[in-house]
Amino acid sequence: MRISDDKAEDAKGVGRQEDDGRTLADRLGWGIAEVLVENDTSAFKRRKTKLPDGTTALRTFRPKFRAALDMLSSGERDGLLAYDLDRTARDPRDLEDLIDVVEQRHIPVQSVTGSLRLANDADITMARVMVAIANKASRDTARRVARKHVELAAEGKWNGGGFRGYGYTRKGMEIIEAEAKVIRDIAAWILGVPSRSLNWIKDELNRLGVPTVTGKPWNARSVRSVVTKPSVAGLRAHRGRIVGPGQWKPILDMDTWERVCATLAGRHRNVDLTLKRWLTGLLHCSQCHREISGAQGNGGPRYWCSTPHGGCGKIAINAAMAEAEVERQVLDLLTRPRVLERLDHISRSEVTDDARRELADDEAQLKQLAGMWARKEMSLGEYREARKIIEDRIKGSRALINASAPRALRRLLAGDVRANWAALTPADKRDVVLTLVPEGYEVLAHDRSRGNPFQPERLRPEHVTTAA
């Protein structure tokens, strides 16, 4: 049973649903082993969910429904009695998971209203169409603000509310050219040589008399905020996560916006790292296995297993030489087609695996629907309606895939890898090395018998993932 989120619509209370269910069970001669009641406030929120076959995928958050599937697929329970189809599955994916279990274990499924039937292909087809349409209907009638925002986010529309975003009109998200120019100037100052600080920029804007949205003077925070918010790159964010492209025009191209964000993030995290010592976090002491970080030494900058930081103090290596050597090794790896192939794969997978799987599912389902329509198993109206729902979801998945590949890798792999490497920020270089050599390098002791010259073999990669 499911408690509807719309109480007024839920004429039959849970108690009544249960009574009806028990009556049906008696008539069928079934015993009730367990009653599962699901509260359904997040019927459209998707989360990573473990499926009965052990894989994970994005699904609506329905713990009781998932528990029921697990019990059915493990054989702990041998039948499902639901109130109706709508209480069992409103999302087509949930229904597909149920169908999988039913088909694999030949589980009888019954419902009080008779709307949930999965006994044969015709039943299954009808259930699919009903769920696809119910799914659309419940989306259409959802009027709660939070839900509306999720939908708008998925569709890439501006969600309104609050102060208007700097650079755009409040209604319709048209670009305000004068403000767009300020945003581009800020980006150019941050990415320029020398790279200007937020404080320098706020002083400059105030000196020039450039107005803000609220009329207050610029401060470092407002400068950061106008140039880093995803909307200026034409991206729609929801609760801090980018959910896809917006339907408005970008003020900064994606690449510029990403570099601005990376530069500011790097400054925030560790000033030294963005300037030079990008091997920090990648080197380990061969003697005591601690992380070695950048330090100032007598002979210039070096990486040292520093005693003030709890290290053994025995291992140090010239910073510029070590960086040049790692760079040489990385560029060498990047000439190998197999490594590039693997990197390309990584840059696509990681966060986007689920979206890819979902996309493939949806494309398959679309084909199946077309077949159903061709065989006259559904009307043109039903087909159109069901197709629209799936196509919308496909759009969402594609947007997610495009927006979330690891940034540094994407920039590195677009075109001439060597030239791109040289243009990466130190923080991005570090991310790339971490992808290639996730456990970093062990720094061996200097072999004194061979004199003073730098010994590149002292930098030993711990484990190169992409070599396989």
Contact residues for Zn ion (CB under 5 A)?
Answer: 285, 287-288, 305, 311-312
Rg (CA), the chain: 29
User: Closest approach of Cβ 446 to Zn ion, in Å?
Assistant: 13
CB of 294 to Zn ion, least distance (A): 15
Please check whether residue 156 is in contact with residue 236, taking contact to mean a CB–CB distance below 8 angstroms.
yes
Instruction: Name, in order, each residue with C-beta under 8 angstroms of 94's C-beta and a sequence gap of 6 or more.
Output: 59, 60, 62, 65, 88
Place of tokens 């209370």: 13
Report the alpha-carbon distance of residue 429 to residue 426 in Å, rounded: 5
DSSP state of 115: -
For residues 178 and 106, give the distance between their C-alpha atoms in angstroms, rounded to a whole number.
66
**How many Å apart are CA 330 and CA 120, to the nearest integer?**
57
What's the chain's length in residues? 468
Task: Check residue 168 and report its DSSP letter.
Answer: B
Cα 95 from Cα 380, distance rounded (Å): 22
Residue 378 burial (CB count, 10 A): 20
CB closer to Zn ion out of 303 and 383: 303
Spell out the SS3 assignment of 398-417.
HHHHHHCCCHHHHHHHCCCH
Among candidate residues 457, 365, 347, the one with its CA nearest the CA of residue 408: 347
The one-letter code for the residue type at 277 is: R
The number of beta carbons lying within 10 Å of the beta carbon of residue 457 is: 8
Nearer to Zn ion, 312 or 321 (CB): 312
- In the complex, the smallest distance separating the C-beta of residue 402 from Zn ion, rounded to whole angstroms, is 44
Of residues 312 and 340, the one with the C-beta less far from Zn ion: 312
Least distance CB 317 / Zn ion (angstroms): 12
Nearer to Zn ion, 202 or 277 (CB): 277
Q: Considering beta carbons, is residue 4 or 287 the nearer one to Zn ion? A: 287
Q: Where are the beta strands (DSSP E) in 210-323?
A: 235-238, 241-245, 283-285, 291-297, 300-304, 316-318
